[in-house]
Amino acid sequence: VTVMNSLFLVGVPQSILNLQSGWTNMFHTETVTLRCDVQGSPTPWVYKWYRDGQEIPISGDGDTYTIPSAARSHSGQYECRGELPERAVTSPHSNSLLLTVYETPPKLQIPMETPSEDIYTGERLTLTCTVDGDSTGWKYLWYKDTQRTELSNIENDRTDGSSYTISSAAPEYRCRGNRTENAQVVLTADPPWSDAFPGDNVTLTCQVTGSEGWMFLWSRVRNGETSQLQGYSDQGQYQCTGRRGNEVLLSNFHNLTVSSDRPQAAVIQTPPGPLWFTGETVILTCDIRRTSGKWRYSWAMKNKQGALESLTPKSKEEQQTHTIQPVTESHSGEYLCQGERGKERVIQSLPGSVVLKVSGKLTLTCTVDGDSTGWKYLWYKDTQGVVLSNTDSDRTDGSSYTINSAAPSHSGQYWCRAHRGGFYSHYSDSHEVNIQGEDLKNNLPKMF
């Protein structure tokens, strides 16, 4: 049977910087949010942010950067890039976005669209309010005779209130501008997972908060290409576009990876095995790697008849670990864990297992190269000058040294030495015993 695997090498994807909310020309205390996306890649990237070429020290590694209250010091050219630290992969720097923060509000002007300031009864007069510079996002309020009473907009012929048309004049008119958070399209996933498995249902929703009348178009970016969707069962980077009249808004991206196989659980032992001694504490962790979402865990142990006995009460299904304290020889056996997530459609991982070996007995063995006839053995701990009592030895020649109830106090350096008649061998190499769950070797090095 020949098994062939294909390996596809592609270039590092490009980072794209977008304005998610707010404006590029801002005023003191306004809020702006920037979003960084690595195109065509569902991999969980770590994002870095830069202003005028210098990295911005921020907490976290998310794909958005928010300035909650803009100040003059926030002005500059912004860029971002993605990193995969574990793989030493870095995307190129994104496009740059210039943010300018002004300390004082802009000035307003009211030029009249009527050539004469003398207005007669029955004539129409249109007043226009404009903001110096960039007028994006501004809405306007109108006042007559006093700044305390706002005029109704029933005579207003523009949605932003920038013009005000009247058919009967008053002595004095004033206007005022304000700007609130601009509309943004938000894409959410339910459940909010970045991975899916056969049988999973994932619903993507696109909405503009606090605004109505929008039409939405869905797209998926895959292998660097964008295609229009009517269904979304495949993996990729999803995005929606909101349209209302001449307004066009792009949503955030949602990365979705679809795996053909169920996830695999693995049992991690702390401290690592393969052998534990009575009295120790053993922690088993159920690890479902490369998945997202909130898993529920169940633990079981195989009894002597091979049947599974549950170890997880309902009240502890959220716990990823199973602790045995203190461990005894009766805890020896095979332990299994499994994870599941979802409500209406439950996805279960493949189970993971580990065999736990618990012993209260530790045996060290000493041997001589060649003919071992007539040799007897001496044992030493921590120092080569004091011979250990052979009361724990289970062989008359002392070639093995047994600790029947291993405890941390038995940890240390052990040596052995052989003698026959009046002739003594050299000391063996030292052997370290650590009763903390490390991999213990039962045989000491051979002596010459």
Q: What is the pLDDT of residues 133-178, one digit of tens each?
A: 666 677 777 777 766 677 765 455 555 666 666 655 555 666 766 6
Q: Which residues of the chain fall short of a pLDDT of 70?
A: 1-10, 40-43, 110-123, 133-136, 146-148, 152-174, 176-182, 198-200, 210-211, 221-234, 274, 314-317, 344-347, 359-360, 390-396, 404-407, 435-448
Q: Which pLDDT belongs to residue 310?
A: 84
Q: Over the stretch 186-219, which tens digit does the pLDDT of each residue have?
A: 888 887 777 777 666 778 888 887 667 788 888 7
Residue 98 has a pLDDT of 93
SS3 for 362-396 is EEEECCECCCCCCCEEEEEECCCCCECCHHHCCCC
DSSP secondary structure of 102-147: ESSPPPEE--BSSS-S---TT--EEEE-EESS--TTEEEEEEESSS
**In this structure, is the dihedral angle defined by the CA atoms of residues 303, 307, 313 and 317, taken in order, positive or negative?**
positive
| Rounded Cα–Cα distance for residues 206 and 185 (Å) | 7
Residue tagged 């790697």 (tokens): 289
Cis check for the bond before 271: say yes or no (omega within 30 of 0).
yes
Q: Which letter does DSSP use for residue 96 in this model?
A: -
Tell how far CA 317 is from the center of its chain: 22
Does a cis peptide bond (omega within 30 degrees of 0) precede residue 44? no
> What gap in Å lies between CA 257 and CA 228, rounded to an integer?
18
Query: What is the CB neighbour count within 10 angstroms for residue 192?
Result: 11
Alpha-carbon span 311 to 333, nearest angstrom? 13
Residue found by looking up tokens 């002596």 in the block: 447
**Whether this model's pTM surpasses 0.85:** no
Domains contained in the chain, CATH given: 15-102 (2.60.40.10), 108-179 (no CATH), 186-258 (2.60.40.10), 265-359 (2.60.40.10), 362-433 (2.60.40.10)
Token digits of residue 127? 């007043």
| pLDDT value at residue 167 | 57
Count the neighbouring beta carbons within 10 Å of the beta carbon of residue 146.
Answer: 8
Predicted local confidence at residue 345, as pLDDT:
60
Under the phi-then-psi rule, with left for phi > 0, alpha for psi from -120 to 50, and beta for the rest, what region is 188?
Answer: beta
CA 20, CA 15: separation in Å to the nearest integer? 15
